[in-house]
Structure formats: structure tokens, C-alpha cells
Structure 1
Amino acid sequence: MDKNEIGLNAGKIWQLLNDYTRWSYDSLKRNSGLKDKELGAALGWLAREDKIEIHQEEDELYVSLGVNVYIG
């Protein structure tokens, strides 16, 4: 896996999250067809870019698009 593949996988995840609902990690994995390490890298990419919100509830991880408001 290289940076290009991670970026492409991040794009897949962003497209799934683009409906602005909260997805469980398992739902993202199932619907994206990515393996754990591929999904983890893609989520890390999106988190580093401040594009997603990650929430932990009990034993489940949830992901949604972040709302970034910049006033310039």
C-alpha cells in the first residue's frame, strides 16, 4: 500500500460519508470493500485533513463528515 492507494481509498470513504449520516466502522468496511488496514489508513488520511469526526460509543466506532467553517 502506498500514499496514492491510501488517497484513493480515502476518496472512496469520503464518497460514502458524503450523505452526511453517521456510519459505523463495520458499515464503512462492508460498503467500501476495504480491509481493516486499508480502511484505517484512509480514515487516518481524512482525520489528518480534518475532514471527518470520529465518535466512540461503547464498543463501536462511528464516523461522519466534519463540519468545517472558516471565516476569512
Structure 2
Amino acid sequence: MDRIDAEEIGKTAGLVWNYLDKNGRSSLNALYRNLRVSKRLVDAAIGWLTREGKLSFSHEQRGTYVELHGSK
């Protein structure tokens, strides 16, 4: 398994944040599909942003959704 480093995670966190800022609430599957980086890297970036208190999650029948914390 390839290693990923903090720099890659940080760059991907920026991609996730920018995507959500532009598009609003999104399913995790849409993030995986549209960011065009590995699922593993997107998950790590989501963890990074979550730890910083920047994301909110909702779980629905059709999947898990994420948005920037405080946006509605």
C-alpha cells in the first residue's frame, strides 16, 4: 500500500473545502467521484477538516452527506 504524507492530505483537504464551498452539501460518493483523487486520500482529508471543526455530516437513507460547518 502506498504511503500518503501530510502535504498530500493538506492539498486534498483544500480540494475538499473548495469543492464544498462552491457546490454546497455533497454526498461522500460525489466527493470521491468528482475530486479525482483516491478514496483513501479524500477520507484522510475529510478527517483533517473534521478535526479542525470545518465539516458537518448527515446520514440519510441514500448515504452520508458532508458540508462546511455552519453553512446552510
Task: Give the alignment's TM-score, normalised by structure 2.
Answer: 0.85
Of Structure 1 and Structure 2, the greater helix share is in 2
Q: Aligned pair 1:12/2:21, yes or no?
A: no
Aligned with 1:61 (options 46, 61, 64): 64
Deviations 1:9-51 (A, max 9, x none): 0000000000362100111111101211111000000000000
Q: What percent of counterpart residues are identical?
A: 37
Question: Over aligned residues, Cα RMSD in angstroms?
Answer: 1.6
Amino acid at match of 1:24: S
Please list every run of 5 or more consecutive structure 1 residues that lacks an aligned counterpart in the other structure: none
Q: Which runs of 5+ in 2 are unaligned?
A: none
- For the residues of structure 2 that align with 1:49 and 1:20, how far apart are their CA atoms? 20
Alpha-carbon deviation of 1:58? 2.5
Q: Map residues 1-72 of structure 1 onto 2, 5 A cutoff.
A: 1-19=4-22, 21-58=24-61, 60-67=63-70
In the superposition, the TM-score normalised over structure 1's length comes to 0.85
Aligned residue pair count: 68
Q: Provide runs of 4+ in structure 1 moved above 3 Å.
A: none
